[in-house]
Amino acid sequence: MAESSFKGIAGQFVTSYYQIFDADRSQLGQFYRLDSKLSFEGDERQGAANILEKLMSLPFQVVQHVGTTVDAQLLDGYGLLIFVLGQLKTDDDPPHMFSQTFVLKQFGDSLFITNEIFRLGLHHQ
């Protein structure tokens, strides 16, 4: 991956991922592999099937992600680190801030998520 294009690739990935997530979560499996790892609010999952199971089990019907900022760094030429800060609107709930981190790795001509961390911006006492 050329260093000059990684920020554009990160932006395209984030846009595509959230469009698919918001429209039809069942299609998100294409972003993961057997060795992919997800930490979603502390719930750890590994493998495309287990990650998709978690994402499909989320208790909302309607979802909209609005990315506020997308930061990206090239990882020693083999991958891409992406950090997203944004708002998440589900069903009739008020919007909540969220942060999400992706590590993408190139396999052939495609990029896949190898690691992902998601947290809502809620204050827990």
Phi, then psi, of 72 in degrees rounded to 5: -140, 145
- Between strands 110-120 and 32-40, the pairing is parallel
Judge if pTM exceeds 0.95: no
Rounded to an integer, what distance in angstroms lies between the CA atom of residue 33 and that of residue 51?
Answer: 10
Number of H helices and E strands in the chain, helices first, is: 2, 6
Domain ranges, ordered by start, for the chain: 3-120
Tens digits of residue pLDDT in 84-124: 999 999 999 999 999 999 999 988 888 899 999 999 987 65
Lowest mean pLDDT among 8-22, 63-77, 81-95: 63-77
Which CATH number does 3-120 carry? 3.10.450.50
